[in-house]
C-alpha cells in the first residue's frame, strides 16, 4: 500500500534515493489522502470526546504550549482514574484565536489512519505512530527542530509552508542527550535551506531523522498528519545482550581493582568480557531471536470484524 503513498515515484526509487538519506516532497491530487483524514473524519474522532485528555490533545500558540487548565477540566477518565477531560468549546476558542491543535497517537482511530500506519511499518520495519496538526490561521506550532525518528507527513486539508534544512546531528535518538539541546543551538546549526515548498492537500513530505525543519500555516484552515517511524538500532542490540550477560558469571564478576600496579589484570578482564560478548552476539543462539525481534518490531494493532469474529 505504501506504493500508492509515494506514487508516481516507485517504492524502489524511494528506498534508493531518499530513505534515511534525504528529504523529498511528492505532489498529489487534492483527494489523494482523503480516506486517511479530512474535516469530517477529524470531527468524527474529536466527537469521541471521552477519549481525549491533555496527554493526547495539546494546543500551541506561536511555538509555545498552552497550559492544559485553559482547555480541560478535572474529571474521572474512561479508565476510572482522577484526571482531566477536554473542554472543546475552549479548544475551539483557542484555535479561532490562532492556536494550533495537536493530537497525539491517533494511528488507530479510523481505518485510513490505521492502514497507512501498517503500510509504513511493513515497508520500513519500525514502530509507527501518528500525530495530527490543525491550524486556522497564520501560526507555527513548533520552532525549527529535528526529530529523532523519520517523518512521513500527509497534507490533508488546506496548505502549509514546509522548510527543510540540513542536518548537524547524525542519527539522533530519543534520549536526554539530544532532547536537551538548546533552541539557540538549533537556530544556529540548522544549515542550508534545501526545501521551501507550499504543500497543499494531497501532497506528501518525507524527512529523515536529524534534518532540521519547520512548518508554517498560511491558509485559512490546514491539517496535516505526521507519522513517525522508529527502527531497531545498535543500542537495542546492547540492550538485548544485557539479558544474556545477566546469566553469565563472567559479567556478574567484580572488575579487578584499577589501582593495581601494572593494570594488567584489569586489561585482561576487559579483554575477556569483550571476547565473550563478541562470541555471544555472533552465535546463532543470540542472532536468531534478535532477527525474529527485528521482523516483529511493530505495535500490535488488532482488527475486529463483526459479527463474524464473535460467531
Residues that bind Fe ion (CB under 5 A): 147
Shortest approach of Fe ion to residue 116 CB, angstroms?
17
Shortest approach of Fe ion to residue 142 CB, angstroms?
6
Shortest approach of Fe ion to residue 244 CB, angstroms?
36
| Cα 60 from Cα 103, distance rounded (Å) | 11
Shortest approach of Fe ion to residue 118 CB, angstroms?
22
Shortest approach of Fe ion to residue 45 CB, angstroms?
21
Shortest approach of Fe ion to residue 119 CB, angstroms?
20
Exposed e or buried b per residue across 28-67, where buried means at least 16 C-beta atoms within 10 angstroms of its C-beta: beeebbbebbbeebbeebbeeeebbbbeebbbbbeeeebe
Pick between residue 57 and residue 215 the one whose CB is nearest to Fe ion: 215
Pick between residue 72 and residue 140 the one whose CB is nearest to Fe ion: 140
Pick between residue 72 and residue 212 the one whose CB is nearest to Fe ion: 212
| Alpha-carbon separation of residue 172 from 20, 127, 148, 230 (angstroms) | 12, 16, 5, 11
Pick between residue 203 and residue 277 the one whose CB is nearest to Fe ion: 203
Pick between residue 107 and residue 147 the one whose CB is nearest to Fe ion: 147
Pairing mode of beta strands 222-230, 159-167: unpaired
Closest residue to Fe ion, Cβ-based?
147
Shortest approach of Fe ion to residue 207 CB, angstroms?
7
Pick between residue 72 and residue 155 the one whose CB is nearest to Fe ion: 155
Pick between residue 83 and residue 126 the one whose CB is nearest to Fe ion: 126
Instruction: Please give, one letter per residue, the 3-state secondary structure of the chain.
Output: CHHHHHCCCCHHHHHHHHCCCCCEEECCCCCCCCCCCCHHHHHHHHCCHHHCCCCCEEEEECCEECCHHHCEEEEECCCCCEEEEECHHHHHHHHHCCCEEEECCCCCCCHHHHHHHHHHHHHHCCEEEEEEEEECCCECCCCCECCCCEEEEEEEECEEEEEEEEECCCCCCCCHHHHCCCHHHHHHHCCCCCEEEEEECCCEEEECCCEEEEEEECCCCEEEEEEEEECCCHHHHHHHHHHHHHCCHHHHCCCCCCCCCCCHHHHHHHHHHHHHHHHHHHCHHHHHHHHHHHHCCCCCCCCCCCCHHHC
Shortest approach of Fe ion to residue 147 CB, angstroms?
4
Amino acid at each position: 500500500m505504501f506504493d500508492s503513498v509515494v506514487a508516481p515515484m516507485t517504492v524502489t526509487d524511494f528506498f534508493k534515493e531518499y530513505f534515511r538519506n534525504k528529504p523529498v516532497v511528492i505532489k498529489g491530487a487534492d483527494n489523494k489522502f482523503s480516506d486517511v483524514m479530512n474535516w469530517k473524519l477529524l470531527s468524527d474522532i474529536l466527537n469521541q470526546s471521552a477519549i481525549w485528555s491533555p496527554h493526547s490533545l495539546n494546543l500551541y500558540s506561536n511555538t509555545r504550549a498552552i497550559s492544559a487548565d485553559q482547555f480541560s477540566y478535572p474529571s474521572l477518565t474512561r479508565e476510572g482514574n482522577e484526571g482531566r477531560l477536554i473542554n472543546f468549546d475552549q479548544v475551539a476558542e483557542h484555535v479561532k484565536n490562532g492556536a494550533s491543535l495537536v493530537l497525539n497517537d491517533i494511528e488507530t482511530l479510523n481505518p485510513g489512519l490505521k492502514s497507512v500506519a501498517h503500510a509504513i511499518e511493513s515497508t520500513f520495519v519500525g514502530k509507527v505512530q501518528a500525530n495530527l496538526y490543525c491550524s486556522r490561521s497564520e501560526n507555527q506550532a513548533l520552532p525549527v527542530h529535528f526529530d529523532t525518528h523519520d517523518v512521513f507527513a500527509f497534507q490533508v486539508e488546506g496548505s502549509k509552508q514546509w522548510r527543510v534544512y540540513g542536518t548537524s546531528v547524525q542519527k539522533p535518538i530519543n534520549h536526554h542527550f539530544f532532547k536537551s539541546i538548546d533552541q539557540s543551538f538549533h537556530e544556529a546549526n540548522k544549515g542550508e535551506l534545501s526545501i521551501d515548498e507550499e504543500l497543499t492537500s494531497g501532497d506528501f513530505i518525507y524527512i529523515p531523522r536529524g534534518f532540521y525543519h519547520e512548518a508554517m500555516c498560511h491558509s485559512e484552515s490546514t491539517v496535516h498528519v505526521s507519522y513517525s517511524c522508529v527502527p531497531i538500532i545498535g543500542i537495542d542490540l546492547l540492550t538485548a545482550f544485557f539479558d544474556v550477560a545477566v546469566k553469565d558469571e563472567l559479567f556478574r564478576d567484580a572488575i579487578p581493582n584499577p589501582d593495581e600496579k601494572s593494570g594488567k589484570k584489569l586489561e585482561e578482564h576487559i579483554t575477556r568480557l569483550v571476547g565473550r560478548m563478541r562470541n555471544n552476539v555472533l552465535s546463532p543462539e543470540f542472532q536468531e531471536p534478535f532477527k525474529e525481534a527485528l521482523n516483529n518490531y511493530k505495535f500490535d494493532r488488532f482488527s475486529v470484524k463483526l459479527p463474524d469474529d464473535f460467531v
